[in-house]
Structure 1
Amino acid sequence: MKTKLLFLVLFLCASLSFAQTKISGKVTYKNKGVGAVNVTLKDTYDGATTDANGDFSFETSEKGNHILTFTHPKYIEVEKQIVIEKKEITVDADLKEQISEIDAVVVSAGSIEASDRKRAATLLSPIDIYTTAGANGQISSALTYLPGVQKVGESEGLFIRGGTGTESKIFMDGSLINNYFSNSVPGIAGRDRFNTSLFKGNIFSSGGYSALYGQALSGALMLESVDLPDESSYDFGVSPIFLNAGFQKLGENKNYSFGATIGYSNLKMMQEVFKFNTNFTEAPQGLNGDLNFRFKTKSGGFFKYYGIYDSNKMGVKTPSLEPENDWALVSLNGKNTYHNLSFKQKFGRYLLNVGTSYSFNRSDLDFSTEKNDLQTGNTKLLTDGNYINFKAVLERKINKISALRGGFELNSTSEKMNFNDFVEKHYKDLISSAFVETDLGFSNHLSAKIGLRAEHSSYLGKSNIAPRFALAYRLAKDWTTSFAYGLFYQNPESKYINGPANLDFQKSQHYIFQIQRTTEGRSLRFEAFYKKYDDLLKVKNLQYIDGQNQYVQTADNNNGYGYAKGLELFWRDKKTFDNIDYWISYSFLDSKRDFMNYPVSLKPNFASEHTISAVAKRFVPKWKTGFNISYTYAKGRPYYDIATHDVNGEQKYFVRNEGSLKDYNALNFSLNYLPNLGKKDTKAFTVLVLSVTNILGSKNVYGYNFSMDGSRNSAVVPPVNTFVFVGAFISFGVDKTQDAINNNL
């Protein structure tokens, strides 16, 4: 019996061995072997995996018609029909790349982002901004530690790559924010009106930005507001210079939320403690409040509303540069309100984004002079502005990394200005825009963005067409390169339009080339750019304002021109050192312009040739404390005293005095401590902040004011050389401590 069983087993094994058919072949991609490809007979357990050269081989006892499949995560699955008989089979396969949302290269020259916002890299998160020493929690200040943004302390705005502060625009949920910065007086920069915690992220473009945005010659900052909060909470903030409180209420079904905040600030106490450079006759103070409402519809749509109101006051007294007066004084009374409503909804493969905003801004400036404690002159400048923006964008996904979008935008401006009854105007303009843009993903290694924007200005009575183009290619696993080109138009600044003038759009062309290496926790970026300016605004003076080196100026023509070119380097590293995040940026800028009242082509007084910034953050989990330090160096900017003289009855400009400012230096430090307050199971989050700006007390100079005859001058300096801030921020109802630790607060 044993002999018969053994014979039967041997017979079956021999039969099976005899019935096996060998299947082999090679799998390639662009004529190169591909390893780790799974090769299987469909609906069987037979198959193999390719080796490093792409070769495979296996045997099967199956017979007849079958399907041989080739699968790999990075390539499209291939199926081959085969007939298995007694003969050995050789099957080769040529793979095609699998287009992947994660693996696809992103167009990033000038920080142009991909069409899918989920993949768009947030340049600076709110935590980054709050923990950057010297930024004082302001988005615009934090951006000055990135390449391309100039450090200009005497005026608000983002001065990008040789552009003025008004040549960059800021958007919230797609809608333009008019008057993003608070009202101020000449020589003192206005602050951000908006709380950084309102936004969950930002995308900053230092050039070559998307066709969805316009009316900016230099760059754009796109802010995206937060959605529904995770939990209801109450927030408080207290410091020697401000008090604020707010709440967020989340609905029971977590489909809606609403909230409000109110705050008051006054610099008077700090003025008593520190030696200020600026003589404030009325310390800067402000009152602000905001409301928000967010609602998710049953069909997946999402509404957001945000409204803010703020008012601010200040008064400044400086020695007069004119011998007939002792003092020059200026006081400000400003008011502003802004409202933003947005809606987005998916309809199958379509995404609709609609947004509208309204803002009102009043700046009431009073200039006066004194002699022997008696008022000798008074000049008033009152400006009221109403601004409405509406925008609609419809996007259709083509595939995982390709999309087509288009839409239109309306931007209405109505401004009234009265200058001491000498100049009175009512400026109105409606800019109508239409745009179309497509993201094209040719492969995981090659993608492009092509856009076109058209605008019409009712005031100018003219139209423009602006093409935009960008291309990205992956050189190696972690290396990518990008190129961007675009035309950008912007209306002349309305504050200079004080009478009839035959004006046109101002224009700039951007050429940007970038090489970038990105790995986990590290990023290296090199960027070169060239900008060409045409049709820049030229102005003429109407009246001099004593003590401020200020003139009421009016638009004359569009004969200005200029260029800006440079190199930038950015390195960020979160991996090399435990609990340390640091970045280093360097910018080289070569720029010249003939615009405004410049008599010839000059290096702009807001452009520094070399700028270096370094930021380092060290978090100690055991102490729940973050130590933050930053340093900025900028080569001294040029300054000019531009005067006029009559030539055959015509006003001509000339440079009467010029020079270079001392180099700018500032070392800043801040400390963030997260103590435990209340009972262990109490949901609460507290941050104690200590911040010292310009800790070494460097005496930086922003420029010079000159007397009417040019024989006397005074330096434009920061209100205070070194500023110390101490504050506490407390939230009840939500515990963000662990999130803050994970984000290296």
Structure 2
Amino acid sequence: MKTKLLFLLSFFAFILSFSQIKITGKVSYKNKGISEVNVTLKDTYDGATTDKDGNFSFETSEKGNHILTYSHSKYIGVEKDVNISNEDLNINTELKEQVNEIDAVIITVGSIEASDKNRSAIISPLDVYTTAGADAQISSYVTYLPGVQKVGETEGLFIRGGTGSEAKIFMDGSLINNYFSNSVPGIAGRDRFNTSLFKGNVFSSGGYSALYGQALSGALMLESVDFPDQSSYDFGISPIFLNASLQKVNDEKTFSYGVSAGYSNLKLMQEVLNFNTDFNEAPSGFNGDLNFRFKTKSGGMFKYYGMFNNDVMGVKTASLEPDSQYFLVDLKGKNTFHNLSFKQKFGKYLLNVGASYSFNRSDLNFSSETNNIKSSPTRLLTDGNYLNFKTVLERKINRRVTARGGFELNQAHEELSIEEVRKDYKDLISSAFLETDIAFSNRFSAKAGARAEYSSYLKESNFAPRFALAYRLDKDWTTSFAYGIFYQNPESRYINSGAKLDFQQSQHYIFQVQRTVEGRNLRLEAFYKKYNDLIKVQNIANIPGQYQPVQTAVNNLGNGFAKGVELFWRDKKTIKNIDYWISYSYLDSERNFLNYPTTLKPGFASEHTVSVVAKRFFPKLKFQTNLSFNYAKGRPYYDIVTENGANMIRNEGSLKDYSSLNLSFNYLPSIGKKDAKAFTVFVLSVSNVLGRKNMYGYNFSNDGNFRSAVVPPVNTFVFVGAFISFGVDKTQDAINNNL
């Protein structure tokens, strides 16, 4: 019996082995084998996984018609009909790459870091607050990135050889016409907007999307917080300001509102520190804002933000003229801004609608003083009203293609008066745009778009095509190229004549190579910008003290170029608990515009700039120390005057090099009960620790024989402050985001 049983078992085993059919093959993509592909007979347990060369092999006892399936997360699944008889099968298959947002190469040309969600550089509020020397201002933080010049005597973002007015700032897609506070000549205005209002800030130093216009150089796109986590109360106190705010959220988390108010005054710090600027009235001001957000039942979101502030300042400087001892300028300004936005998905479509209104008044009075007797003031009064409306409709056609388009209206009405000069400027810029993102594969993607504008004042229209390409060289290395044409109206402050003017134009060519791995980012970028139709001006009135000549545009015959290379390296992983970055920019730029008598290197452009930022966090101590360093090669300066209707250079030269070492310390103590929801930060910040005497330029006397340096209001500034939030404990988030 044992012998018969063994025989039967051997016989059945032989029959089974004889009936097994071997299925082999190779799975490839563009003739290269793919590993880790699951190959199975549908509705059976038979199958295998491909090896490193894409080969697979398995046996089956199935017979007849079946379906062979191929699956891999990065490739489109395939099913093949097979007929299994008594012979082995060899089946080779070619797969197509599956494009997805996580693995697809993204276009980062002109930006610093890649984000799978937004496909651009993201600047977090915490990054801004913890960068020494940034003064909690987004615009100051951006100067630590490559391509942005540190220009201290006037506000604005000076990007790659462009003026401060050639870069624009947007909030939730809407243009902010007066992002900076009113200022006096030689002292830059500060950011009007609280950094914590925004959840992410996208900075483009060139080649930006067709959704944005009226900027020759770059764009800073600010996106406000969608919805607060929960109700909270916040307080901030320091020797120069006091503010408080509250944010309330309903239990269903469908509606929230918030208000804030603050007061600032530099008088106390002026008494403590040795200021270079003699403020006969210390800078001070009130500010307040209101916000609300609510979600619709269909998943939409309304957001409103409104703010107001006023500015008061008086500056007294030694006069360069023999007929007076001092030159005085007094400022009284006020501003209001309102922004309403709506976002809603309708099936495959995403609708974004935004509208904003702003009003700004700058009231400057210039006078001289001799033996405590003031002259009659010269008043420069400027009022501006601005309206913006924008709508964008986006549709994701498939995994590979996304299209978006819309239109925008920008209306400006400005009135200026100084002595006999009057100006009443009105303009409506109507714009339409269309753009598409195409992912040809996970290695290759493109963005193409165009923008068209019409100006009611210029009575001219333009058409601006833009495109960008990105290719992944390997897992960590990508390369990008961007080209675009950008238009901008002449600045309204130069318009006061019957001259026939047109749009100013720039063309951007940008090439980038970037390596990104976890916690590390290396970027090399080269660019070339060509300027056409820039504004040329002549002086028509002089304000006493030669601070700010009033000029008028005469034609669009200006031109110029800017070219350079940039390096950016950021590392969060090599040294434990240390985040640092290094940026370097080389800029070669020349222009013949405004009152330049010939082609010159712009007075706002430095040839070499270097920035170093380092942050060290001590998690157990809840303590952070930050260091930053800025260096810029000395900029050129010019004393340009108008004689016999022609502009000429009377004095010129180069400033000494600029450098500043800054330190800040942040401490997050535990206050109150252990389980209390509270977040506290104590801040100590010292700007220009070494007390270097930097300078931004010169003012010249009317005859050109005397000059005085334009310098920062103070060489070394010390800031001490405390920020307390009740209702939301952000301590752990602060710790995690700094590691």
Place the TM-score, normalised by the shorter chain, in its bin: over 0.9
Deviation (angstroms), 1:112:
9.8
Q: Output the CA distance in 2 between the equivalents of 1:272 and 1:455.
A: 51
2:548 maps to what in 1? Answer: 550
2:234 maps to what in 1? Answer: 235
Q: Output the CA distance in 2 between the equivalents of 1:742 and 1:279.
A: 43
1:321 maps to what in 2? Answer: 320
Q: Output the CA distance in 2 between the equivalents of 1:117 and 1:715.
A: 47
Deviation (angstroms), 1:15:
2.1
| 2:9 partner SS | helix
Deviation (angstroms), 1:314:
0.3
User: Does residue 576 of the first structure (1) align with residue 570 of the second (2)?
Assistant: no
User: Does residue 677 of the first structure (1) align with residue 671 of the second (2)?
Assistant: yes
Q: Output the CA distance in 2 between the equivalents of 1:361 and 1:401.
A: 45
| 2:542 partner SS | strand
| 2:12 partner SS | helix
Residue of 584, 600, 603 corresponding to 1:602: 600
Q: Output the CA distance in 1 between the equivalents of 2:654 and 2:178.
A: 31
| 2:537–2:553 contact (8 Å) kept in structure 1 | yes
Alignment of 1:246-645 (within 5 A): 246-420=245-419, 422-645=420-643
User: Does residue 29 of the first structure (1) align with residue 23 of the second (2)?
Assistant: no
Q: Output the CA distance in 2 between the equivalents of 1:475 and 1:109.
A: 15
Q: Output the CA distance in 2 between the equivalents of 1:6 and 1:560.
A: 101
Deviation (angstroms), 1:110:
1.6
CA RMSD of aligned residues (A): 1.3
What is the letter of the counterpart of residue 70 of structure 1?
Answer: Y
Deviation (angstroms), 1:10:
2.8
Deviation (angstroms), 1:425:
1.6
| 2:457 partner SS | coil
What are the ranges of 5 or more consecutive residues in structure 1 without an aligned counterpart? none
Q: Output the CA distance in 2 between the equivalents of 1:112 and 1:728.
A: 31
| Per-residue deviation, residues 65-100 of structure 1 (Å, max 9, x unmatched) | 001111111111111110011111111111111111
What is the letter of the counterpart of residue 503 of structure 1?
Answer: L
1:167 maps to what in 2? Answer: 166
2:691 maps to what in 1? Answer: 697
Q: Output the CA distance in 2 between the equivalents of 1:15 and 1:247.
A: 81
Q: Output the CA distance in 1 between the equivalents of 2:365 and 2:375.
A: 13
| 2:549 partner SS | strand
User: Does residue 659 of the first structure (1) align with residue 653 of the second (2)?
Assistant: yes
Q: Output the CA distance in 1 between the equivalents of 2:324 and 2:285.
A: 31
| 1:318–1:547 contact (8 Å) kept in structure 2 | no
| 2:27–2:95 contact (8 Å) kept in structure 1 | yes
| 1:325–1:376 contact (8 Å) kept in structure 2 | no
| Per-residue deviation, residues 227-251 of structure 1 (Å, max 9, x unmatched) | 1111110000000000000011111
Q: Output the CA distance in 1 between the equivalents of 2:520 and 2:208.
A: 24
> How does the TM-score come out when normalised to structure 2?
0.99
Q: Output the CA distance in 1 between the equivalents of 2:597 and 2:255.
A: 58
Q: Output the CA distance in 1 between the equivalents of 2:222 and 2:133.
A: 21
User: Does residue 98 of the first structure (1) align with residue 98 of the second (2)?
Assistant: yes
What is the letter of the counterpart of residue 716 of structure 2?
Answer: T
Q: Output the CA distance in 2 between the equivalents of 1:403 and 1:548.
A: 53
When the two structures are aligned, how many residues end up with a matched partner?
A: 739
Q: Output the CA distance in 2 between the equivalents of 1:404 and 1:622.
A: 48
| 2:297 partner SS | coil
What is the letter of the counterpart of residue 540 of structure 2?
Answer: L
Alignment of 1:188-207 (within 5 A): 188-207=187-206
Q: Output the CA distance in 2 between the equivalents of 1:112 and 1:128.
A: 13
What are the ranges of 5 or more consecutive residues in structure 2 without an aligned counterpart? none
| 1:404 partner SS | strand
Deviation (angstroms), 1:691:
0.2
Q: Output the CA distance in 2 between the equivalents of 1:703 and 1:130.
A: 29
Q: Output the CA distance in 2 between the equivalents of 1:428 and 1:32.
A: 62
| 2:732 partner SS | helix
Q: Output the CA distance in 1 between the equivalents of 2:33 and 2:434.
A: 41
Q: Output the CA distance in 1 between the equivalents of 2:504 and 2:482.
A: 20
Alignment of 1:52-71 (within 5 A): 52-71=52-71
User: Does residue 10 of the first structure (1) align with residue 14 of the second (2)?
Assistant: no
| 1:17 partner SS | helix
What is the letter of the counterpart of residue 645 of structure 1?
Answer: E
Q: Output the CA distance in 2 between the equivalents of 1:743 and 1:339.
A: 31
Q: Output the CA distance in 2 between the equivalents of 1:247 and 1:531.
A: 46
Q: Output the CA distance in 1 between the equivalents of 2:382 and 2:478.
A: 48
| Per-residue deviation, residues 26-58 of structure 1 (Å, max 9, x unmatched) | 111111112221111111100111111111111
Deviation (angstroms), 1:157:
0.3
| 1:680 partner SS | coil
Residue of 708, 715, 721 corresponding to 2:715: 721
Q: Output the CA distance in 1 between the equivalents of 2:656 and 2:667.
A: 36
Percentage of identical aligned residues: 72
What is the letter of the counterpart of residue 541 of structure 2?
Answer: Q
| 2:147 partner SS | coil
> How does the TM-score come out when normalised to structure 1?
0.98
1:735 maps to what in 2? Answer: 729
Q: Output the CA distance in 2 between the equivalents of 1:99 and 1:682.
A: 46
Q: Output the CA distance in 2 between the equivalents of 1:160 and 1:45.
A: 62
| 1:104–1:401 contact (8 Å) kept in structure 2 | no
Deviation (angstroms), 1:505:
0.5
| 1:549–1:707 contact (8 Å) kept in structure 2 | no
| 2:121–2:204 contact (8 Å) kept in structure 1 | no
Deviation (angstroms), 1:724:
0.2
1:709 maps to what in 2? Answer: 703
Q: Output the CA distance in 1 between the equivalents of 2:26 and 2:447.
A: 36
| 1:107–1:113 contact (8 Å) kept in structure 2 | no
Q: Output the CA distance in 1 between the equivalents of 2:337 and 2:263.
A: 18
Deviation (angstroms), 1:387:
0.1
| 2:537–2:554 contact (8 Å) kept in structure 1 | yes
Q: Output the CA distance in 1 between the equivalents of 2:433 and 2:333.
A: 35
Q: Output the CA distance in 1 between the equivalents of 2:352 and 2:5.
A: 77
